[in-house]
Amino acid sequence: MATALTANDALTKARIDYTDRNVESRRLHLSARKVLPGGNTRTLFYHPPFPLTFVSGHDSVLVDADGHEYIDLLGDYTAGLLGHSDRRARDAAMAALDVNMSVGGIHPAEQQLARLMCERFDLDLVRFTNSGSEANLMAMTAARMYTGRAKIMVMYGAYHGGLMYFGAGPAAWNVPFPIVVGRFNDLDACKALIDEHASDLAAVLVEPLLGSAGCVPADPAFLRGLADAAQAVGAVAIMDEVMSSRLGPKGLSEQFGVESDLKTYGKYIAGGFSFGAFGGTAEVMGIFDSTHASHVPHAGTFNNNITSMAAGNEVLANVYTAEVAAAFTDRGDELRENIAQVLARYPLALCVSGSGTMMAIHARARRPTDGESAADKDPALQEMLFLGLLRRGIYIAPRGMINLSLPVTDDQLATVLGALDDFCQELAAS
Ligand code: PMP
């Protein structure tokens, strides 16, 4: 009882300190709430007592409305891979805009980017969308049209987009597809569900690493077995690589040796411009072949928008090449090991999970293995960690997520480890 009160007192103190330090962000939050529900247009940006407003950034540094500088370890939930100063994607987009603003027809950059995507990620055919959410909606629809079946299997805790959020299983706000919920990393249970629903199962949709649920990587054997089991009953195996395609030269599912039918993409590929894509085998993607009278339609005014296409070409061809991706992923693994070493020095219920440059620090003693265990944590300690790192100039997600961006320096990562150590020391001593 006494410990709980102490923890609550410490959290209250941290919130008061945060409020005192961030007067302008608080003022902006209150005024934003007059025109935006909750003061934002992306729900996850709200956290109590109010979120920071960022006014500028450079390299891997963000500056807030009260003038504080933070090492940006969030990397816009993986979309901000290039950091805040890299001009290459921006210049490519500007050069394209100099030639044509809004084409309203075919232009060469879309097939160039499609070729880069197919070569890089081992796809036969690809289509572009405006977001990862849309890419997953199209992939699920492709599977339903291809199989003539209705149901989609997802994992408990998975996030596939704004209308495909299974953080606590199925929810009324999701797309009205019939959903079957499996348990991540539990192959036997998933296989049993696949067999139970075999005759009406259109697809299994899975993240190779549960991203929003806490950077929980799949056991490679689980992911391979899941895709095989789906295909054995005639369902389409879809890998949601919207976040995890940045891991390793060809994305995480390829690293795990998974043979899937479709994969979906988004986030960093257009260097910060909006982006989404879905692609895979000629057999499944062929249903969209508009030279055939019976094709499935796929529309979208901005699917081939000139800025995203030009920037995407630059990112895949020159910025985040397969070689850069491989080396950067190793850097992430090293940081995660260093974080684990810091945490191991203190008797605190904190652990780190992840793969490559995507990781999360969890307020729980043992590394989570699925959506259920990732959700089972100490919310007060999680918030203390977030506020404690902010106080020390480090910006991560309130839920503990970290995604490295390319310009981050070794010195900055050393500063992060020092800040984490200092936070743990202070907490362990209190
Ligand atoms: N899939 C995964 C695994 C994601 O993490 C996200 C976004 N966080 C999406 C899909 C949706 O992408 P977008 O936000 O571009 O719609």
Task: Give the CA distances from residue 26 to residues 134, 152, 181, 383, in Å, rounded to whole numbers and listed in that order.
Answer: 33, 42, 39, 18
Task: Determine if residue 185 is left, alpha or beta; phi over 0 gives left, psi from -120 to 50 gives alpha, anything else beta.
Answer: left
Distance (Å) from CA 392 to ligand 1 centroid: 29
Task: For residue 160, report the distance from its CA to the centre of ligand 1, in Å.
Answer: 5
Full 3-state SS string of 61-126: EEEECCCCEEEECCHHHHCCCCCCCCCHHHHHHHHHHHHCCCCCCCCHHHHHHHHHHHHHHCCCEE
| CB 246 less than 6 A from any atom of ligand 1 | no
129 close to ligand 1 (CB < 6 Angstrom): no
Coil, strand or helix: which one is 233?
Answer: coil
CA of 75 to the centre of ligand 1 (A): 14
What are the structure tokens assigned to 26, written together? 């608080």
Cα separation, 151 vs 200, in Å, equals: 6
Q: Pick the atom of ligand 1 nearest to 274's CA.
A: 15
> Which of 159, 175, 268, 275 gets mutated to test ligand 1 (max ligand atoms within 8 A of its CB)?
159
From 210, 242, 247, the mutation candidate for ligand 1 (largest count of ligand atoms within 8 A of CB) is 242
Q: Is the CB of 161 under 6 A from ligand 1?
A: yes
Cβ contacts of 62-67, under 8 Å, gap ≥ 24: 62/395, 64/22, 64/24, 64/25, 65/22, 65/24, 65/25, 65/28, 66/21, 66/22, 66/23, 66/24, 66/25
Ligand 1 proximity of 207 Cβ (cutoff 6 Å)? yes
238 Cα: distance to centroid of ligand 1 (angstroms): 14
Between the CA of 268 and the centroid of ligand 1 the distance, in Å, is: 11
pLDDT at 6: 72
* Dihedral of alpha carbons 113, 119, 120, 123, sign: positive
CA of 260 to the centre of ligand 1 (A): 19
What pLDDT tens digit does each residue of the chain (430 aa) get? 445 557 788 999 999 999 999 999 999 999 999 999 999 999 999 999 999 999 999 999 999 999 999 999 999 999 999 999 999 999 999 999 999 999 999 999 999 999 999 999 999 999 999 999 999 999 999 999 999 999 999 999 999 999 999 999 899 999 999 999 999 999 999 999 999 999 999 999 999 999 999 999 999 999 999 999 999 999 999 999 999 999 999 999 999 999 999 999 999 999 999 999 999 999 999 999 999 999 999 999 999 999 999 999 999 999 999 999 999 999 999 999 999 999 999 999 999 999 999 999 999 999 999 999 999 999 999 999 999 999 999 999 999 999 999 999 999 999 999 999 999 999 999 8
Atom of ligand 1 nearest to the CA of 241: 3
Strand order of the β-sheet with 151-155 is: 125-129, 276-280, 262-266, 236-240, 201-206, 151-155, 179-182
Q: CA 15 from chain center: how many Å? A: 27
Contact present, 136 and 264 (Cβ < 8 Å): yes
159 lines ligand 1 (CB under 6 A): yes
Give the list of residues 6+ apart from residue 307 with CB closer than 8 angstroms, or none. 93, 96, 97, 270, 273
In whole angstroms, what is the distance from residue 11 CA to residue 20 CA?
A: 14
Q: How far is it, in rounded angstroms, from Cα 241 to Cα 249?
A: 13
Q: What was the pLDDT predicted at 2?
A: 43
214 CB near ligand 1 (under 6 Å)? no
Ligand 1 centroid to 265 CA: how many Å?
8
CA of 182 to the centre of ligand 1 (A): 19
The reply to whether ligand 1 has any atom less than 6 angstroms from the CB of 121 is: no
Question: What is the pTM assigned to this prediction?
Answer: 0.97
The residue whose CA is least distant from atom 12 of ligand 1 is 132
Report the separation in Å between the CA atom of 411 and the middle of ligand 1, taken as the mean of its atom positions.
30
> Ligand 1, closest atom to CA 212?
5
In a 3-state reduction of DSSP, which class is residue 204? Answer: strand
Given the CA of residue 132, which atom of ligand 1 is nearest to it? 12
Mutate to test the pocket of ligand 1, among 205, 262, 267, 273 (most ligand atoms within 8 A of CB): 267
How high is the pLDDT of residue 5?
Answer: 52
Cα–Cα separations (whole angstroms), residue 203 to 49, 239, 422: 41, 10, 47
Q: Which atom of ligand 1 is nearest to the CA of 136?
A: 10
User: Which residues lie across from 271 on neighbouring strands?
Assistant: 273
The DSSP call for residue 317 is I
